[in-house]
């Protein structure tokens, strides 16, 4: 699969703070690429350099020619900025305009745009087209902002923490919109600190912490690389203290956490000790567990 973007030895320094510290990666065409990490990890700075909004201290970002007319790479320039779509973390919408009027306004900024009817269908805007921007719910607002990012029919779409603040139902609806966009062979760059979001959407991920890349690969590759065990949870009152100490199991509040590579053997130990299995929960490792193992703290800690 061809490469859409190459990030090479990128550094961004602010006085005594290194926001991005010598990072390199590639983004494949047609993939959803996840840039993951907690607040302050350097995700937004990296994505703003890739978008051409700020300049790096050193290093470079190269785009493959988006018109398909040349094989050589291009540095980020004004021409590239016209061919990408961006959904920022925070965007102000014009008051007293409806959703439809906002689409019309933003369409006037580009020489070439997607038909408005196609945007409305793709981002599921039809139910609130004539609603004032001020009256939109969080999910409706994000769907409109996604439509604005797609208005110039970009090959590459940047989504900077697009579901932050949305309720679980709205988040999952937004995930489906992203899948629909990817199905049109668009390349998506997604920053998020929701690990379930990354597992659901991303083909490839880079995990950042304190400006550095600490791991990269596909979600399945990374989990297979770092974990060959699963977690078993039981209510603490059901498990004798002697059994917990014997097997060095961990306690978390009112439950016991058992890490095991052999679920059947562990269950046999529990049943052989007449431990009730009521409330038993088995969980495979996820990207949150991976981040905790790599950094010593949860992804959501700030």
Residue 302 lies in a domain: no
pLDDT reported for residue 73: 56
User: Please, what sign has the CA dihedral across residues 66, 69, 75, 81?
Assistant: negative
User: Where residue 171 sits, what CATH number does that domain have?
Assistant: 3.40.50.300
Residue 292 lies in a domain: no
Q: Are 91 and 201 in a shared domain?
A: yes
94-113 pLDDT, tens digit each: 889 999 999 999 999 888 89
Rounded CA-CA distance 147/176 in Å is 14
Residue 301 has pLDDT above 70, yes or no: no
For 39-49, what is the mean pLDDT?
A: 90
Residue 297 lies in a domain: no
pLDDT reported for residue 75: 61
243-287 pLDDT, tens digit each: 999 999 999 899 999 999 899 999 999 999 999 999 999 988 888
Instruction: Give me 174's structure tokens.
Output: 């937004």
Mean per-residue pLDDT over the chain, rounded: 88
Rounded CA-CA distance 19/11 in Å is 8
Rounded CA-CA distance 194/166 in Å is 12
Q: Are 57 and 141 in a shared domain?
A: yes
Range of the domain at 82: 3-223
* Confidence band of 136 (pLDDT split at 50, 70, 90): very high
Residue 214 lies in a domain: yes
Question: How many domains does one find in the chain?
Answer: 2
pLDDT reported for residue 69: 43
Give this prediction's pTM.
0.82
CA-based angle 41:1:76, to the nearest 5? 50
Q: Are 36 and 168 in a shared domain?
A: yes
Q: Are 136 and 185 in a shared domain?
A: yes
Q: What burial class does residue 283 get, using C-beta atoms within 10 Å of its C-beta: 0-12 exposed, 13-18 middle, 19+ buried?
A: exposed
């Amino acid at each position: 699969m061809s490469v859409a973007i190459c990030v090479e030895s990128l550094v961004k320094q602010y006085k005594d703070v290194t926001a991005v510290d010598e990072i390199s990666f590639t983004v494949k065409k047609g993939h959803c690429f996840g840039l993951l990490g907690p607040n302050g990890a350097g995700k937004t700075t990296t994505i703003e350099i890739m978008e051409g909004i700020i300049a790096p201290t050193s290093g470079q970002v190269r785009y493959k020619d988006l018109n398909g007319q040349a094989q050589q790479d291009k540095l980020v320039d004004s021409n590239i900025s016209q061919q990408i779509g961006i959904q920022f973390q925070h965007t102000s919408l014009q008051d007293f305009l409806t959703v439809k009027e906002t689409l019309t306004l933003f369409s006037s900024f580009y020489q070439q745009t997607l038909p408005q009817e196609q945007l409305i269908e793709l981002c599921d805007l039809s139910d609130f087209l004539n609603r004032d921007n001020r009256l939109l719910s969080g999910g409706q607002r994000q769907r409109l902002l996604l439509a604005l990012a797609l208005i110039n029919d970009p090959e590459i779409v940047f989504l900077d923490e697009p579901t932050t603040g949305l309720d679980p139902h709205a988040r999952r609806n937004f995930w489906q919109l992203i899948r629909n966009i990817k199905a049109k062979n668009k390349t998506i760059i997604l920053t998020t600190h929701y690990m379930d979001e990354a597992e659901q959407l991303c083909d490839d991920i880079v995990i950042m912490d304190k400006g550095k890349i600490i791991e990269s690969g596909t979600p399945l590759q990374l989990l297979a690389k770092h974990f060959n065990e699963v977690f078993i949870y039981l209510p603490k009152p059901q498990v004798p203290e002697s059994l917990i100490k014997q097997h060095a199991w961990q306690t978390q509040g009112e439950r016991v956490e058992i890490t095991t590579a052999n679920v059947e053997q562990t269950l046999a130990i529990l049943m052989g000790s007449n431990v009730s299995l009521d409330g038993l929960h088995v969980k495979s490792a996820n990207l949150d567990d991976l981040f905790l193992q790599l950094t010593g703290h949860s992804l959501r800690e700030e």
